Amino acid sequence: MNTRTLGETAKVVTLRNNIIPESGDLVNALSAINSYLESKYQKEEFSGAVLVSKNNEILFNAGIGIANREHQIKCTHETKFRIGSITKQFTSMAIMMLSEQGFLSEGDRLAKFFPLCPYGESITIHHLLTHTSGIPNITQLQDFKKLMKEYTPLHISIELIMKLPLDFQPGSQFRYSNSGYLLLAYLIEMITGQSYEEFLIENIFSPLSMNSSGPDKYKEIILQRASGYEFDHKIGIVNSDFIDMSIASGGGNLLSTTEDLYKWELALTSNTLVSNKAMQRLFTDYGFGYGYGWFVKDELIYNKALKSVYHGGGIVGFKNRITRYLDEHVCIIVLNNLSTTDVDDVTNNIAKLIFQ
């Protein structure tokens, strides 16, 4: 199977709403980004959509590659990708909103909401948000590969998680765990009486006009949804394995577009949903390079120190990343439906072109 026969159909198919600046250097940088992504596609190292913004203006907005290879449907700014763990920043924002409304506090212990939880007195909401709870990742369940192919309601996932012994004393270590965000999603449901997805749609997506974002449910007909792909060393690019996204609720079950995530970026920049104080809590490094649903990092690009907050999102057939350079007001959104893509490398190379 020679995927390169897609040839010309893989080129940039949309580049709209661009703010073309007077600076020749930046115009050259945007052209270089376009050439770089096209080259990555031709080498079967990228397929997706990229948006770059600065000072709340879109600089680059393009789809490069194929959203569905069997039907030869191109990626565009409207293509909906599974965003994987980028979902976590919406969960953490929901928790901040409920905190400001007085329904909970990050210092609350799980026992307040889950009285039967065997370690409810030891773990706080803060621990769940920061991956320091010690609760093992749900992916460690013995039959997880079977479980991921079935519809798994949140309460069933929670029951399974709570049977697992802790990996370490809460607060003593950082160990990335989707289980904590499953618990947070269930907590949102318990407090609000809504499903996790209903709460996000009513309180985040609809107010921000993020009309192309929501849960990825395989039975539903979702227009513009991308298919996910993996790489087989014998065959080449193949369809990804099946997963019922219910197993990833709160931590990885959403889909979105580059333009919807740009609306999200605008809301974060303007403190639209919560106060500045709550926003600061989201982006604070709590000792392990992680805030609430965001990694926090000081980067060095061309000998210039840049503070970034970011999160990747890898899930069966998809690899994504959103990166925000806070002081420079630059946001780079990379969505991609090829699981072997190194999205960190793609993001870093785009950043170098922007900051050169």
Least trusted range by pLDDT, from 12-16, 137-141, 239-243, 337-341: 12-16
Looking at the structure, tell me whether residues 224 and 77 fall in a common domain.
Answer: yes
* 8 A C-beta contact, residue 334 and residue 83: no
Confidence of residue 28 (pLDDT cuts 50, 70, 90): confident
* Shared domain check, 94 and 66: no
- Please state, in angstroms and as integers, the Cα–Cα distance from residue 263 to each residue in 208, 214, 332, following that order: 7, 14, 13
Q: Within 13 Å, how many C-alpha atoms sit on residue 109's CB side? A: 12
Residue 324 shares a structural domain with residue 238: yes
Residue 20 sits at the vertex; the CA angle it makes with 17 and 22, to the nearest 5 degrees, is: 160
Q: Which amino acid is at 190?
A: M
Domain boundary pick from 137, 165, 200: 200
The amino acid sitting at 81 is F
Are 253 and 351 in a shared domain? yes
Number of domains composing the chain? 2
pTM, two decimal places: 0.92
**Which of 125, 128, 100, 169 is CA-nearest to residue 251?**
128
Q: Clarify whether residues 229 and 145 are in a common domain.
A: no
Q: Is 206 a member of any domain?
A: no
The per-residue pLDDT for range 39-55, each reduced to its tens digit, is: 999 999 999 999 999 99
Residue type, 22: E
Q: Are residues 275 and 219 in the same domain?
A: yes
CATH of the domain at 158: 3.40.710.10
Q: What is the pLDDT of residue 24?
A: 63
pLDDT at 233: 87
Q: Establish if 207 belongs to a structural domain.
A: no
Average pLDDT, the chain: 92
Is 43 part of any domain?
yes
In a domain, 143, yes or no: yes
In a domain, 221, yes or no: yes
pLDDT tens for each residue of 174-217: 999 999 999 999 999 999 999 999 999 999 999 999 999 999 99
For residues 294 and 268, the answer to whether their CB atoms sit within 8 Å is no
Asked if 68 and 170 sit in the same domain, the reply is no
Residues 73 and 105 in one domain: no
Q: By residue range, what is the domain housing residue 280?
A: 3-81+213-355
| CA atoms of 55 and 50, how far apart (whole Å) | 17
Residues 150 and 294 in one domain: no
Q: Which residue among 200, 226, 257 closes a domain?
A: 200
Residues of the chain with pLDDT > 70: what percent? 93
> 66 near 6, Cβ under 8 Å?
yes
- Among 160, 175, 200, the domain-final residue is 200
Mark whether 224 and 342 lie in a shared domain: yes
Does 208 reside within a domain?
no
The answer to whether residues 73 and 13 touch, using CB atoms and an 8 Å cutoff, is no
**Same domain (yes/no): 240, 98:** no
- pLDDT value at 14 more than 90: no
User: Of 196, 200, 183, nearest to 112 (Cα)?
Assistant: 183
Residue 1 has pLDDT above 50, yes or no: no
Query: Residue 17: what pLDDT?
Result: 44
